[in-house]
Structure 1
Amino acid sequence: MSMLVVFLSLWGISLGPVTEAATFFETQPLLWAESESLLEPSAEVTLTCQARLGTVDFQLFKNGVVQETVHLDAPAIKHQFLLTGDTRGRYRCRSGLSESWTQLSELLELTGPKSLPLPWLSVKPVSWITPGLNTTAVCRGGLRGVTFLLRREGDHEFLEMPEAQKDAEATFPVHRAGNYSCSYQTHVAGAPSEPSDTVTIKELAAPPPPVLRLDRESTQVLRPGSKVTFTCVAPLSGVQFQLRRGEKELLVPRSSTSPDRIFFHLNKVALGDGGHYTCRYQLHDNQNGWSGDSEPVELILSNEKLPAPVFTAEPSSPNPEPGTRVRLRCLAPLEGARFALVREDRGGRRVHRFQSPAGTEAHFELRNISVADSANYSCVYVDLEPPFSGSAPSALLELRVDGPPPRPQLRATWSGAVLAGRDAVLRCEGTIPDVTFELLREGEPMAVKTVHTREASANLALIFLGPQHAGSYRCRYRSSWPNTFESELSDPVELLVTES
């Protein structure tokens, strides 16, 4: 994914669509080969690394290892590297950015004299088509001034860019679903390059749903008059958002810091505002079509005027064994109420789960418990009929689970040895969400890769491998908030790196 320098301004909007006020600046450099040097049976090849901003520093990598570092006397927008000897390999470059470096360029692979570098195909802004969306396929080659060819699996003809491009890439509009690949040729009579890897573009009747979240302060049992903020995130930028309760659109104040998301503000909620909320979005070029609704997010409010429920646990011990199950029972003097299990820890109070039983009691289960479940628990209930009163909280029940969390499993997403200059992805799978995963190499105390995710597993990618990356790897996960814990290391996975 491209690294972006983002200049953001925060704006407030009421009763209107989002105005994009974010400016994105691409910093990833471009790398290409000079066509003359590749088509001649010569031992020399020239690679050009072009920065997005003037810089005095350029660096070229081959097969995951630094090949050459250049510090110029004056800032330049590009630098040419002359390759001699065996030029076959996988190359990337980067340029200086302030006191550091940009991310690496896209991969450029040279397979030998008179051979063309493999192209690379991507889809923007997303890998699907739907009415109102302009989806494009971008084919990037290793040469400038070539003619690009796009092919859809099952079609006999290429979609061709008729004139040679000054840039090393071409953009094709995509109107049909399918599996696409691209290639390029240096002149009309020339043979095309080998095709790129295939990308799949799907056709959707409507855009996929966004994701709706509550800010942390709004996930607790709210009091009337509280402020609530929803965040709705779409899979692409430049859309119009809508907050809904049931089938009704809510015209509330809104703001944003990024064109792919919006914050909806409920400044003073009342008892009747509890319930399920969803959001959706609309493409600017399709005013009649909306995305699917997000998964619902629920608000619960209580004025604490109803009697507190009775809250018990089975087993009743405050120190249950790891891996066991705890049953929590909440009993209210009211039928048909909405119940909420509330968790309280260093991060504050927040609703953990909801239930709407037919009778007067709700049963919540905590399965396969671990140190991550250590907290104080209580429950409340609210009347679903006007005036929508809610109960006082029950007495607190304390749960303290000792010992490390379950050990994760690490698995490779490849088989055999990995080619130098390629990427390797290891998947670390745990059982606890919202943690930080770490990948560690045998013999090194510091993690080589760290990823925080809301999920219970994560992909840990090693980019542009070189011989120095070979070794044995393990993973673990940890949390410092609200509970502090660290898992044991997984079993090892061996990474082998080969030059060919």
Structure 2
Amino acid sequence: MDSGRSSLSNLVEVTGAEPLPPPLLSTKPVPWITPGLNTRLLCLGGLRGVTFLLRREGDDKFLEVAEAPKDRQATFPVHRAGIYSCSYRTHASGAPSEPSATVTIEELATPPPPTLTLNGGFAGLLRPGSSATLTCVAPLSGVQFQLRRGEDVLQVPMASTSPDRLFFQLNTLAPGDGGVYTCRYRLPEELALWSLDSAPAELVLSDGTLPAPELSAEPATLSPEPGTLVQLRCRAPRAGVRFSLVREGAGQRRVHGLLSPAGTEAHFELRDVSAVDSANYSCVYTDTAPPFAGSAPSAPVELRVDGPLPKPRLRALWTGAVTPGRDAVLRCEGHVPDVSFLLLRSGEEEPSAVAWTTDPSADLVLTYVGPQHAGNYSCGYRSNWPHSLLSQLSDPVELQVAGGARFRGHIEAPGLCPDSTLLQGCPFPHLLPALTLA
């Protein structure tokens, strides 16, 4: 038996009464334009050798037309803000396909801010002489980064593993190195503007030389009911200091909150407590002026909250049945930040989508939706610190897929999925069962 690949069959005529299914429209690299940035729109269809059409909302005619004689996609440069969609047609006199989902392009005078995280995303309580890593992540690649403390630009050792981020290494920290840090970026073009500043990341240093504060809980019970409010009060010997609430678990001490009250007492609130809040808590205070001394930690307060993590809410960000070929986005709204969200289809053990975020909610995306995606979906979230816990599952949301589409015109049947011999490898597998051969 010949194990080599066979040659393509003769052309067949494929016809049908329903319109061509929509392509997928996405942005490269970001959904905004700013001076010096070459933003593009990528329109991906299911067939080779078609003509792609780009439309901007409010314009009567197609904005641009691009032929793709040997490809399934076309790229369009974008110079104006607006709401865009794309479609395609198989021949000049043929009707265009259903339009893609719209993409909104904004025009920004200043690039949006990057994100800045400390020590892998979690602020720790550090001692002078130790080291810390600040990671600045931009929304696009190939930019120049800058780390600042206040208005001062810092020149520190840097490293990178990806063109969209930079690691700033702070070695042998001195007492005065604590405080608020920000980062920003700019495009490498001459006269490019710096982005907005990132949200601040605060570095807490304490040398442990000042007397320890006192930490107490209200209500006084150390086993509060799930969903209740717990207030942790930290009292220092004097006013004018910066308080840090520290949470301990899995051999790590992380700063859970920071306050600078006018008096000698800081009130930290834990709202809607659940099992994930079970931990040992302590507090410290630090001077905000030279010599930047810090206290020893308070005696710990141990909180234990029983019961499962509360279930999240799952919402579909669409109405009605999903058109084949489009993305389906489901928003999972939880109660706890810094968790992994899981989207689960009824009857399946492996998650259909996973997302980690520092926010208490996340968008979970099913791409290139077809009939094989129909079913009931639920979501949950997993906390990995200070201990691994999985929440209850949300109430289910049903995903319905609109009926199959049929092609009209002349195409090469093998070209539907030219890069794969398996149905699972086809970006538009839902098109295959809908074909009607003449």
Q: Normalising by the residue count of structure 1, what TM-score does the alignment of the two structures yield?
A: 0.73
1:387-412: CA deviations, max 9, x gaps?
11111111111111111111222233
Query: Gapped runs of 5+ residues in structure 2?
Result: 405-438
- CA offset digits 1:425-461 (Å, max 9, x no partner): 3332210122233333444455444443333223333
Q: Please, which of 377, 381, 394 is the counterpart of residue 473 of structure 1? A: 377
- Which of 488, 493, 500 is equivalent to 2:392? 488
Cα distance in 1 between the residues matched to 2:128 and 2:69: 62
Residue deviations 1:107-144 (CA, integer Å, cap 9, x gap): xxxx65xx666444332111100011111223345555
The one of 385, 388, 412 aligned to 2:289:
385
Q: Deviations over 1:302-354 (max 9, x none)?
A: 11111111111111221111111111111112221111011101151011110
Q: Does 1:312 align with 2:216?
A: yes
Q: Distance in 1 between matches of 2:319 and 2:59?
A: 32
Match of 2:202 in 1: 298
Shift of 1:194: 5.2
Query: 1:144-163 maps to which residues of 2 (within 5 A)?
Result: 144=48, 147-160=51-64
Match of 2:410 in 1: none
1:237 alignment partner in structure 2: 141
Corresponding residue of 2:239:
335
Give, in whole Å, the separation in 2 of the partners of 1:164 and 1:84.
21
Does residue 136 (structure 1) correspond to residue 66 (structure 2)? The answer is no
Aligned to 1:32: none
* 1:347–1:286 Cα change, 3 Å: farther
Distance 1:470 1:156 in 2: 36
Q: Pick from 149, 163, 167 the counterpart of residue 259 of structure 1.
A: 163
* Aligned-pair CA distance for 1:158: 4.1
Change (3 A) 1:337 1:473: same
Q: Higher relative contact order by CA 8 Å / sep ≥ 6: 1 or 2?
A: 2
Aligned pairs, number: 404
Q: Which region of structure 1 is more displaced relative to structure 2, 460-469 or 251-260?
A: 460-469
Matching residue of 1:430 = 334
Structure 1 counterpart of 2:127: 223
Distance 1:183 1:291 in 2: 34
Question: 5 Å matches for 1:372-411?
Answer: 372-411=276-315
Residues 233-290 of structure 1, C-alpha deviation per residue, up to 9 Å, x if partnerless? 0000000000001111101110000000000001111000111000000101243410
Amino acid of the structure 2 residue aligned with 1:73: S
Identity %: 64
C-alpha displacement of 1:202: 0.5
Structure 1 stretch displaced more, 182-191 or 270-279? 182-191
State the partner residue of 1:268: 172
| Aligned 8 A contact 2:24 2:326 in 1 | no
Q: Distance in 2 between matches of 1:217 and 1:495?
A: 34
SS in 1 for 2:173: coil
TM-score (norm 2): 0.82
Match of 1:177 among 81, 89, 112: 81
Once the two structures are overlaid, the 10-residue window that deviates more, 315-324 or 405-414, is 405-414
Aligned to 1:280: 184
1:73 aligns with 2:3: yes
* One-letter amino acid of the counterpart of residue 270, structure 2: L
Distance 1:75 1:209, change over 3 A: farther
Superposed displacement of residue 191, structure 1 = 6.1
d(CA) in 2 for partners of 1:474 and 1:247? 47
Q: Indicate which of 416, 422, 439 corresponds to 2:343.
A: 439
* CA spacing shift, 1:431–1:205, aligned 2, 3 Å: same
Matched AA of 2:38: N
Shift of 1:157: 4.8
Contact 1:161/1:170 (CA < 8 Å) preserved in 2? no
SS in 1 for 2:176: helix
**What CA distance in whole angstroms lies between the structure 2 residues aligned with 1:362 and 1:81?**
77
Using a 3 Å threshold, how does the CA distance of structure 1 residues 170 and 460 change in structure 2: closer, same or farther? closer
CA contact under 8 A between 1:439 and 1:460: conserved in structure 2?
yes
2:273 corresponds in structure 1 to: 369
In the alignment, what sits opposite 2:193? 289
- Superposition deviation, residue 217 in structure 1: 9.4
SS for the counterpart of 1:372 is: helix
C-alpha distance in 1 between matches for 2:49 and 2:343: 42
Deviation at 1:226, TM superposition (A): 0.8
Higher share of residues assigned strand: 1
Q: 1:384 to 1:83 in 2, by over 3 A?
A: farther
